[in-house]
Amino acid sequence: MPKYAFKIEYDGKPYHGWQRQPDVPSVQQTIEEALYKIAPEKPSIQGAGRTDAGVHATGQVAHAELIKSWDTERLLEALNFHLRPALISITQCQVVNEDFHARFSAIERRYKFRLVSRRSPVIVDSGWVWQVQRDLDIDLMRKGAEHLIGKHDFTTFRSSICQAKSPIKTLDEISIKEFNIEHGKEFEFTIRARSFLHNQVRSFVGTLERVGAKAWDHARVKEALLAVDRSACGPVCPPQGLYLAEVIYSSKVFT
């Protein structure tokens, strides 16, 4: 059967995460139900990242095997037609080799996080950023982030319900940019690794916000990491500023 890879964009607010769950809407279920309308064999779709409730994506990747051979443009258009009015868009579609797996073939995942520092309530970007009302020092947050780069036991920054077999991961990048916006500042975090633990990115950002607000010294991030204790973590920030931005494979998937 031909196998197809999809690049997917979605607004995570209406969904209880990527993964199909009983009795609540999910991104996976919504796409599968659109697929069922054109593929009576009712195929499953496998995603590269199991984003949590409220988390968005601009570069999620998934794959499915279909009995029928489709022109990729027609398949993309048919899926988007049947996805309406869901807040999900298939932005690219490509035939891939039978050994391709959206999750297990990935060699890197890249997340973005948008944090806004502004006293006035955010309206236009509400639900798309995490807003705090205090000033943040980007240099201090960058110093705190440096302690997290590399291969570590990230138990401190791991959810208590995380199902990963090992807390040891290699963090390739955590960088922060600052932008002036109307009446405030926006901070964009870029976090790269092959894979992540449950709530790891949100634990990082919530902890670094404490550093930027001068409630934590940046050295406390290293102390928290070395503690290998979830109770040493800073607050876990809310999901609405988090985006799965890109999934990287050893060879190019989409032309």
DSSP character string of 37-72: TT-TT----EES--PPTT-EEEEEEEEEE-SS---H
**At residue 1, does pLDDT exceed 90?**
no
Confidence of residue 64 (pLDDT cuts 50, 70, 90): very high
pLDDT digits (tens, 9 = 90+) for 90-136: 999 999 999 999 999 999 999 999 999 999 999 999 999 999 999 99
All domains in the chain, ordered by first residue: 3-104 (3.30.70.580), 107-246 (3.30.70.660)
CB 126 within 8 A of CB 47: no
**At residue 255, does pLDDT exceed 90?**
no
Catalytic option among 52, 137, 153, 172: 52
**At residue 17, does pLDDT exceed 90?**
yes
Whole-prediction pTM value?
A: 0.95
Which stretches of the chain are DSSP H helices? 27-36, 72-83, 138-146, 200-212, 219-227
**Catalytic site includes residue 217:** no
Which distant-in-sequence residues (6+ apart) come within 8 Å of 98 by Cβ?
A: 3
